[in-house]
Structure 1
Amino acid sequence: MTRQGENIEERIKAQAAALGFADCAIAHADAAPKTAERLAQWLSEGRHGDMIWMEERAAQRGSPQGLWPDVRSVIMLGMSYAPARDPLALEHAQDIGRISVYAQGQDYHDVVKKGLKALARWMIDEAGGELKVFVDTAPVMEKPLAEAAGLGWQGKHSNLVSRSHGSWLFLGAIYTTLDLSPDVPGRDRCGSCDACQRACPTDAFPAPYRVDARKCISYLTIEHKGPIPIEYRAAIGNRIYGCDDCLAVCPWNKFADSAAANKAFMGRSELAAPSLTDLLELDDAAFRAVFAGSPIKRIGRDRMVRNAAIAAGNSGNAGYKVQLQRLAQDQNEVVRDAAAWALAQLLEAR
């Protein structure tokens, strides 16, 4: 016990809250033993699509010790980005491109990592030990570890669900050599609800708790570099970066409070409801200017314009014809393909 009358676990959580984290929980490093097996099965079925990095470091990804043998405890942290508005409100807005809630503000990688590093420095000063911090880009299975620590549980859409924060948490992890007392693991509370599965526009869930990335709109609009398969283009609608549908319909979101969200993730006006007309005009310089400081910047101009062209093709608005004709001559093959498809869709809609 410390002189403040609190143990180190309680003090870590208090410091995490002071640094802007909405939740913090602790697990032993071996608390999610089925992760490696489940990951191996998912990869063997090819459900990761062309996310090759998932298989390249699968051995490290399968367990904390696989990445760092000295780790004893895992501290899982959640930072809220609960939206103030309904993420589905612009579903039928034909001239607007829909961007996933998480990407409308500052890049979460930067914001969460800053908080993790600050907490890590505090921990070293207060308790010693060695540690490593991770947010998204390392071979870490954040969601199973978050469930093992007690932040929530992995819902039928495979994302984490929190009783307090719904579906809107960015996850970060601190691996440490400290032997910390663990919290109670999360318990599945989905019950018979299948709202997330029914909401998916592309049927990306072959079974509860399993997702096929190759069908997921988030994967198709963000991770996938080539032409989007024709069978999914109409279902994409006006989504140009990610998809919130399976998260937005979760009943547990009624407990999420947008006031608890980190202010850095408040949507920028130009990203909350971007005009398809403007997006179709983007060149590389304009793309970098518009999406500076946003996680969207990593997909590059070509994928964004590809996505915008598909949304234009789904709009039924013949006013995009001139822009799409120009893009059908674009130097990028994927953009040309999307523009040609969109023109054909608008022609059929007449």
Structure 2
Amino acid sequence: MLSSSTSPLRLHQPTHPLRRHPPAPAAAAGGATHLAPSRRWRGHPRAAPLRSRPQRIRALDAAQPFDYESRAAGLLEERQRLKIAIVGFGNFGQFLARTFARQGHTLLAHSRTDHSALAATLGASFFTDPHDLCECHPDVVLLATSILSAEAVLRSLPVHRLRRNTLFVDVLSVKEFPKNLLLSSLPPDFDVICTHPMFGPESARDGWDGLPFVFDKVRVGDCPARRARAEAFLNIFEREGCRMVEMSCAEHDAHAAETQFLTHSVGRMLAMLELRSTPINTKGYETLLRLVDNTCSDSFDLYNGLFMYNKNSTELLNRLEWAMDSVKKKLFDGLHDVLRKQLFEGTAPAPNTTNVRK
């Protein structure tokens, strides 16, 4: 049966097999028999007059039932939407989830504390049982726990219930420790990317634009689908304007000891002084007050993890102590010089001659 479409620009193929035309009746003279062509396309009878008018296709898209360019773009965007399981749905996990949800990714969440109500506001499904979480087969498992609890939480996950090439990503503030942990704990077919967003809820309250995002593609399978999945995850941060910095985990930890652990150490020490705002604040003093707020808003476990799991932190702490002692020594040496001059180089008192005999 012929297609019912009336578009003159669309070719219609017959759904029945091609048939030969019956022989034409013999001609009156000579009795010759003429056979019609053995094969031809059968068009709609009404379309016959159109043969005299050559058709011109001016726009390919206009002749299609769909806009294929738009459809392809939509399929690409759909492929870039991920099902992300956030393991460790605390302060930082929730902070990331808000942006993930806004970009249209499907979110699953798991944590020791019941955050089901907050997860619901983000359109995320909350799971108290990690088995139920893994049986949902997420594309990405995001480890957003504290540094100190990362190993225990990872080992509690039934990874055998996941698809065998699942992508694991961590967002811990140290990198060599989670890299070694993930490589030693996960099956060899699992992909691993170690990342560190160098910002948090306080420092990124106005957006992520221009803020550094460090990542290391530790292990990504040589397969188009797996490479595309890894790029789709990294694209979440690139779309928000992050400054994407690719570097090894070892190099990250060497830099982070100064850029992060030092900052937190100074902020913690200033907090011990119980600094308060005054009527005569200088710009520098207000910077110190903001430093205290930014660093002490994080848990002490985070700061402790920066020290325990970054081998560069011990050396930096020793250097910080040496720097403080050097400054103190310089101050006291200057003070001693002033005292010595007063004691030993000052003008000697005039002798008392009142009772001197002449």
TM range (shorter): under 0.3
| Superposition TM-score, scaled by structure 1 size | 0.26
| Superposition TM-score, scaled by structure 2 size | 0.26
